[in-house]
Amino acid sequence: MIKKSEKAFQEAVNYIPGGVNSPVRAFKSVGGTPRFIKRAKGAYLTDEDNTKYIDLIGSWGPMILGHAFEPVENAVRKAIKSSFSFGAPTVKEVEMAKLICDLVPSVEMVRMVNSGTEATMSAIRLARAYTGKNKIIKFEGCYHGHGDAFLISAGSGALSLGVPDSPGITPSTLGDTLTAPYNDLDAVKRLLETHKGEVAALIIEPVVGNMGCVLPKEGYLQGLRDLCTKEGVVFIFDEVMTGFRLALGGAQERFGITPDLTTMGKIIGGGMPVGAYGGKKEIMQMVAPSGPMYQAGTLSGNPIAMSAGMAMLKHLKKHPEIYAQLDETGAFIAEGLRKSVKELGLNYTVNQIGSMYSLFFTSEHVVDFKTAKTADIPAFSKYFHQMLNRGVYLAPSQFESLFLSTKIDKRIANKILRASHYSLTSLVE
């Protein structure tokens, strides 16, 4: 029953563009009515019609410890007693900065912002300020938030809606944004040769979540690191999704790569609106007021958000075994899905690393934007609704990674696999 969600959506479209505050939530690429959620706890979401779903989105990443995780909830309750925002420095911000520098291998200094988008936009400006160059390189199908340059060949919601190149972007932004296919080192080499001495930064999702889950090929990230060092290009890891998820120190720890700058978000705020960018001291000292690159924020370093994020990060630091548990659950689900599609003779592709995974409705080995786009979207949409009807809430797009939380135990993982098997069965019947 989706009566209340239907009513809410009908009303929402009159007041909010498309009825939602972020496009992919509207179910446009899969059709149907988005569920309006009223609460969540642990592994489950509950909608306005009181239907419960196993949540495989986790608020698009932050909820690695499940919903309403008690230490985070308690930290927020305690913090709000001292008011919500001061617009002046707090010791919590220093504590948070020290914690991030301790956890993320390449980060020596960090600036807090309010979203992943703010983090990536600021990191690009900083790279330009540092190098005195204008152009950037990004990868087709990667998403770095909704900054103008990032909406050229973008992934995530932009890709799901079929508009990876948004109107409203100026020709000069287009001219300064170079794009290359993911996992193709030679393409980057060629770009750097053609635009020698013009490129300020190369920004990448070290593991892509925004065209579905796509892994870097062996040696690819190190190859990019070497090219950036050789050409004096600032190498930016966008770890908004992968940070504190693929390992405590993010993808850079997992793959042993040292970027110059790192952008963070999602988990870092424990579910509150937070982002951060950080990296080498030499570069970060260019940020105002210590240097000339201007960047600011009324609510940046907000005490409630810092408290939530810190409670989350401290828990992860204290319990590093969480990452082995998430790896195990991820591998278990991926194996189960592979077995299921094989049994049904479907030949679909499963990409997985740690607690990120995607079932691609294609027989292609998905390594980049081109191969991701071979997915059968109508089949995915049917599967999505089948899963929803069986109480499993997937991302409403083929081009999004799913995220596991520590609350998805073996029992829930088996439920997901059973629901998936029956959903896939109904596709072949």
Where does this chain bind ligand PLP (CB under 6 A)?
60, 115-117, 120, 143-145, 156, 205, 209-210, 238, 240-241, 265, 275
Determine the Cα–Cα distance for residues 48 and 403; give it in Å rounded to an integer.
Answer: 23
User: Phi, psi (5° rounding) for residue 80?
Assistant: -70, -20
Determine the Cα–Cα distance for residues 29 and 394; give it in Å rounded to an integer.
Answer: 13
Shorter beta-carbon distance to ligand PLP: residue 23 or 265: 265
Exactly one of 238, 260, 327, 368 is catalytic; name it.
238
Torsion of CA 146, 147, 148, 153, to 10 degrees: -50
Instruction: Name the minimum Å distance from CB 397 to ligand PLP.
Output: 12
User: For the residues of 120-175, what is the DSSP string, one character each?
Assistant: HHHHHHHHHHHH---EEEEETT----S-GGGGSS--HHHHHTT-SS-TT--HHHHH
Helical H runs in 195-244? 220-231
User: For the residues of 358-375, what is the DSSP string, one character each?
Assistant: EEESSSS---SHHHHTTS
Exactly one of 135, 266, 382, 407 is catalytic; name it.
266
Tell me if residue 266 is catalytic.
Answer: yes
What residues contact 198, with CB distance under 8 A and at least 6 apart?
Answer: 133, 134, 135
Judge whether 213 and 207 are in contact, CB under 8 Å. yes
First to last CA, the chain: 25
Instruction: Name the minimum Å distance from CB 205 to ligand PLP.
Output: 5
The radius of gyration of the chain from alpha carbons, rounded to an integer in Å, stands at 21
Shorter beta-carbon distance to ligand PLP: residue 109 or 142: 142
Shorter beta-carbon distance to ligand PLP: residue 142 or 334: 142
Instruction: Name the minimum Å distance from CB 147 to ligand PLP.
Output: 9
Determine the Cα–Cα distance for residues 243 and 309; give it in Å rounded to an integer.
Answer: 13
Instruction: Name the minimum Å distance from CB 275 to ligand PLP.
Output: 6
Determine the Cα–Cα distance for residues 159 and 141; give it in Å rounded to an integer.
Answer: 7
Q: Which long-range contacts (CB under 8 A, 24 or more apart) does 152-156 make?
A: 152/177, 152/179, 153/179, 153/369, 154/210, 155/208, 155/210, 155/211, 155/369, 155/399, 156/24, 156/210, 156/397, 156/399, 156/400
Determine the Cα–Cα distance for residues 88 and 300; give it in Å rounded to an integer.
Answer: 10
Partners of 110 in beta bridges: 278
Exactly one of 53, 130, 143, 393 is catalytic; name it.
143
Size of the chain, expressed as the number of residues it contains? 429
- Closest residue to ligand PLP using C-beta atoms: 116
**Looking at the annotation, which residues are catalytic?**
143, 238, 266
